[in-house]
Chains A and B, each alone.
Chain A
Amino acid sequence: MRAHHAQVADVIQFSWVDGPGNRFVLFLQGCNFNCLACHNPQTIPLQTPRAKDYSVEEVLTKIRESLPYITGVTVSGGEATVQHEFLFDLFAAIKAAPDLKQLTTFIDSNGNAEKHIWEVLLPVTDGVMLDLKVLDNERHIALTTQSNTAVLETIKYLASRGKLYEVRLLLIPGQNDSDEELRKTAQWLLRADPSVRVKINAFMSHGVRASARTWAEVSDEDRLRYSQIMTEEGILDLV
């Protein structure tokens, strides 16, 4: 019965930055990337004494405390899909419960999961917010230790199924924010999903590990340049 339990890094009763409306957010422990720019590196290991064990029922009880106030539930991480069996059980339980079925279910993911996992998850998932660290695969490996092949496949697949809510770009000065990279990324995303919603997250060194702490933070001019390029390339929904 392990699939009915999860290693949970944290629970937030109200979040305004993890999808539409006010949301209950579950942060699962464990990630299959090892990003230098990770703000919560303590959530990367699959096992840690700081994580708590939750059953689906225990999470539902927590959700019910927030129920009158929320539009939905978002599962984030770590990487949510690492514990995809639990994730499916949780969302299926929400959709099956008469008092919870109106809640929207969202996943916040790095996209590094095989198609067969998404095929199982999508019937109980209303939308996915997906991080694209960088389009170029070599840069991706340098920043995350992993290839982005699965990520790009995931974006295309989710878009084709109408479940791609938002793509997030964590932009780091000098690492993945050149004009050329931004233009290529915008063009690639528009091919995958002509109405793609793009959210730009600015790198901040607070919370990251020592090797990334010397990287520059995003300036106001950088922000302006990012949004100008995205708009010029035809990204209409930019947040």
Chain B
Amino acid sequence: MFTPLDDIRAMVTNPKYTYRQRVAGLANLAENLLDPPTVSDECTSALEKRIICDMYEGNAPYRPRYLLPDYDRVLTQGSAFLELPPAQNLDDALAFLLIMYSQTPSITGYPVYFGDLDTLLLPYVDHVSDEDLYAKLKRFWISLDRMFPDAFAHTNLSPVYNRVARTILALERELLQVVPNISLKVEPILTSNEYLLDAVSTVFACGKPHFINDEMMQADLGHDYAAVSCYNSLKIGGGSHTLVRINLKETVLAGGGGVDEFFATTLPHYLELTAELMESRIKFLVEESHFYTSHWLAQEGLLSLDRFSAMFGIFGLAEAVNILMEREGSSDTYGHSAKADDLSYRITSTIAAWVANRPMPYCEGNDGRAMLHSQSGIDLDLGVTAGTRIPIGSEPPLFEHLKTVSRHHHLFASGISDVLSFDDTAVKNPQAVVDVIRGAFKDGMRDFTFNLDSNDFIRITGYLVRKSDLAKMPSARHASTYLGAGSVADSHVDQRIVKRVMSHESSPRASS
């Protein structure tokens, strides 16, 4: 039987962790010496069985899981806490931002949001030559990766192609860094073909950026939003208190019977337990940790409680559907049958309606409700598929894949994603990839992420690791690489079915 002291000793002496990783680990162990926020026995039991899950955030939340400071505001108003005047030029702005990031908490200890860096920096580049801009941004970009070595740290690019965005994409192709994660906001008219081609060629080099559906995001979150961490879309100046998730596979297994019983009793029961857990954690954070009244980001108006909500995560949809189909006497599976796909949508739309109907305290950022999230997994998840994805290794061809998953996307305001693996035929025809991205957004996709099979990067759940870093384990500089190693070993994320979009030289008819 391990005692907390044994855990502490193991953390202090573990040679594979850096100093900073040990400090973070010790803080987590200390926090967990406290009792968790009070919930019902039924809720505790569901948590212990991992039917519902608090993401191991810790027993006493004392900072929001994800927060998105209003960097635009702080650069123009300065900060009393940081003793910094408003930024006057590009050098000021870059130094200011690095200082800000070092003082921005999150669940990982590193900031999950660096700001929409192209829009943030544009006001400061008018009198900066292209050469200087490249050199200054390059130093800044290297600093991000070395000072905040966490693949969840995320920046966004605005829909309009501009000098800073162009420079950032060029730097990405040169530096091949894990940090920052990047999302490009794509608007059907404002975002030019030239910009998308530039971004797609950057994905070929380093797996970044993600592409996000700006119209859909703005409809759900308003103009000031960003995708952060592992594609969680949230309000700037706000964020998410916590992320609690429900394992739909375990939910189905916990109840008996078929589809009718699942919808009538099992599902609502566990949804309520998930909400109960979420509610208790939010109340502790807001009422007892005093974060929102004491932290300087809140005091200086860079965060406000009324722009926060909480993320209600689901995962294991594929297994839930397949088990229910089996109980109904069918061997149809998710991603390969219209009936199974229809059941999947009945499940997600039922959950969406339930969450939209359940009041949640301190969630004024979403009209007093939690926000639905398709949770893309953690390294401990075994035998259960991330979010609403199709199980790795059984993905259908691209067209069917997109049709299956895209119908769910509009329901998940706080984020959903599917990782599509492409082979080298994409490299010879980048316009085809642009076509597919634009088509996917017209068809209702929220987030489009693809992985090129042949580069050094691999998407785990939404964050990147370098295959060459995995080979160097143990001694990785990025904390997230450890999580990635677990996922490659256990969940075979390196075995996604690669989309070989067919050519007439290898027509399916020839092989059928």
- Per the bound structure, the CA–CA distance linking A20 and B398 in Å amounts to 18
Task: List B residues 461-512 near A (Cβ within 8 Å).
Answer: 501-510
29 A-B pairs with CB atoms under 8 Å apart are: A9-B509, A10-B507, A10-B508, A12-B502, A14-B397, A16-B429, A16-B501, A17-B425, A18-B504, A21-B429, A21-B431, A21-B435, A22-B432, A22-B436, A22-B501, A27-B507, A39-B504, A40-B507, A42-B510, A43-B509, A66-B399, A68-B439, A68-B440, A69-B438, A71-B435, A76-B504, A204-B505, A207-B510, A239-B428
Contacts of B443 in A (CB 8 A): 68-69
Q: Mark A57-86, 1 if CB is under 8 A from B, else 0.
A: 000000000111111000010000000000
B442 within 8 A of A: yes
Asked if residues A39 and B505 are in contact (CB atoms below 8 Å), the reply is yes
A207 and B509 alpha carbons, distance in the complex (Å): 11
Shortest Cβ distance from A77 into chain B, in angstroms? 8
Residues of B within 8 A of A25 (CB): 504
List the 9 shortest-distance A-B pairs measured between CB atoms, nearest first. Answer: A69-B439, A22-B435, A17-B503, A68-B439, A68-B442, A22-B432, A16-B432, A10-B509, A13-B399
Residues of B within 8 A of A21 (CB): 429, 431-432, 434-435
Distance (whole angstroms) from the CB of A14 to the closest CB of chain B = 5
Known: A16-B432, A17-B425. A108 touches B504 (CB 8 A): yes
A67–B443 Cα distance when bound, in Å, is 10
Bound Cα distance A69, B397 (Å):
14
Q: Find chain A residues with CB under 8 A from B431 CB.
A: 20-22, 71
Q: How far is the CB of B328 from chain A (nearest CB, A)?
A: 28
Q: Is A12 touching B508 in the complex (CB atoms < 8 A)?
A: yes
Given contacts A69-B435, A71-B431, contact A15 B503 (CB under 8 A): yes
Contacts of B426 in A (CB 8 A): 16
Please report the C-alpha to C-alpha distance between residue A39 and residue B426 in the assembled complex, in whole angstroms: 22
Extra contacts, 11 of them, besides A15-B501, A207-B510 (Cβ < 8 A), are A14-B397, A14-B398, A17-B505, A21-B431, A21-B434, A40-B507, A40-B509, A68-B439, A68-B442, A69-B402, A76-B504
Q: A17-B425, A21-B432 are contacts. A69–B507 as well, Cβ < 8 Å?
A: no
Number of A interface residues in the complex (CB < 8 A):
33
**Chain A: minimal CB distance from B249 (Å):** 31
Please state if A16 and B425 are interface contacts (CB–CB under 8 Å).
yes
Residues 1 to 45 of chain A near chain B (Cβ within 8 Å):
9-10, 12-18, 20-23, 25, 27, 39-40, 42-43
Whether B501 lies near A17 (C-beta < 8 A) is yes
Rounded to whole angstroms, the CA-CA distance of A76 and B501 in the bound complex is 16
Residue of B whose beta carbon sits closest to that of A76: B504
Of B402, B440, B510, the residue contacting A40 (CB under 8 A) is B510
Q: Kindly report which residue of chain A lies nearest to residue B500, judged by CB atoms.
A: A16
Does A195 have its Cβ within 8 Å of any Cβ on chain B?
A: no
Q: Tell me, rounded to whole Å, the shortest Cβ–Cβ distance linking B300 to chain A.
A: 44
Q: Is A201 an interface residue (CB 8 A)?
A: yes
Residue among B402, B436, B439, B503 making CB contact with A18, cutoff 8 Å: B503
Residue-by-residue, is B420-432 near A (CB-CB < 8 Å gives 1, otherwise 0)? 0000011011011
CA of A16 to CA of B502 in the docked complex: distance in angstroms?
7
Give chain A residues whose Cβ lies under 8 Å from the Cβ of B501: 14-17, 22
Greatest chain B CB density within 10 A among A10, A40, A69, A71 is at A69
Interface residue total, chain B, C-beta cutoff 8 A: 29
Scoring B residues 399 to 431 as 1 if CB is less than 8 Å from chain A, else 0, what string do you get?
A: 100100000000000000000000001101101
User: Residue A50 at the B interface, CB < 8 A?
Assistant: yes
- A87 CB to nearest B CB, Å: 16
In whole Å, how far is A223's beta carbon from the nearest beta carbon of chain B?
14
When C-beta atoms are compared, the residue in chain B nearest to A199 turns out to be B428
Q: How far is the CA of A42 from the CA of B503 in the complex (A)?
A: 16
Contact A201 B399 (CB under 8 A): no
Cα A168 to Cα B428 with chains together (Å): 15
A204 to B503, CA, bound (A): 14
Contact A15 B502 (CB under 8 A): yes
Q: Quick one: CB contact mask for B202-239 with A, threshold 8 Å, 1 for yes?
A: 00000000000000000000000000000000000000
> Given A15-B501, A22-B439, does the pair A42, B429 have CB atoms closer than 8 Å?
no
Q: A17-B429, A21-B435 are in contact. Are A69 and B399 (CB under 8 A)?
A: yes
Interface centre among B434, B435, B439, B506 (most CB of A within 10 A): B435
Cβ of A107 to closest chain B Cβ, rounded Å: 12
Nearest A-chain residue to B400, judged by Cβ: A13
A25 CB to closest chain B CB (Å) equals 7
Task: Flag B131-153 by CB within 8 Å of A: 1 or 0 each.
Answer: 00000000000000000000000
CB-CB under 8 A from A17, the residues of chain B are 425, 428-429, 501, 503-505
Q: How far is the CB of B116 from chain A (nearest CB, A)?
A: 27
**Cα distance, A13 to B443, chains bound together (Å):** 15
In the assembled complex, the Cα of A14 lies from the Cα of B423 at a distance in Å of: 14
A18-B503, A18-B504, A69-B443 known; A42-B509 Cβ under 8 A: yes
Q: Are A39 and B510 in contact (CB under 8 A)?
A: yes
Please report the C-alpha to C-alpha distance between residue A57 and residue B505 in the assembled complex, in whole angstroms: 27
Known interface pairs A14-B399, A39-B510; A201-B440 also in contact (CB < 8 Å): no
**C-alpha spacing A20/B510, complex, angstroms:** 24
Query: B499: shortest Cβ distance to chain A, in Å?
Result: 9
Whether A27 lies near B505 (C-beta < 8 A) is no
List, in ascending order, chain A residues with CB within 8 A of B439's CB.
22, 67-70
Q: Are B438 and A68 in contact (CB under 8 A)?
A: yes
Name the B residues within 8 Å of A71 (CB-CB).
Answer: 431-432, 435
Contacts of B507 in A (CB 8 A): 9-10, 12, 27, 39-40, 43
Pairwise interchain contact A14-B510, C-beta atoms closer than 8 A: no
Smallest CB separation, B194 vs chain A (Å): 14
CB distance from B429 to the nearest CB of A (A): 4
Give the complex CA separation of A227 and B484 in angstroms.
Answer: 41
Chain B residue nearest to A67 in the complex (CB): B439
Known A25-B504, A207-B506, A207-B510; judge A14-B425 contact (CB<8 A): no
**Docked pose: A39 CA to B511 CA in angstroms:** 11
Please, which residues of chain A bring their CB within 8 A of the CB of B402? Answer: 69
Q: Which residues of B contact A66 (CB under 8 A)?
A: 399
Q: How far is the CB of A110 from chain B (nearest CB, A)?
A: 12
Which B residues lie within 8 Å of A22 (CB)?
429, 431-433, 435-436, 439, 501
In Å, the complex CA distance between A13 and B428 comes to 19
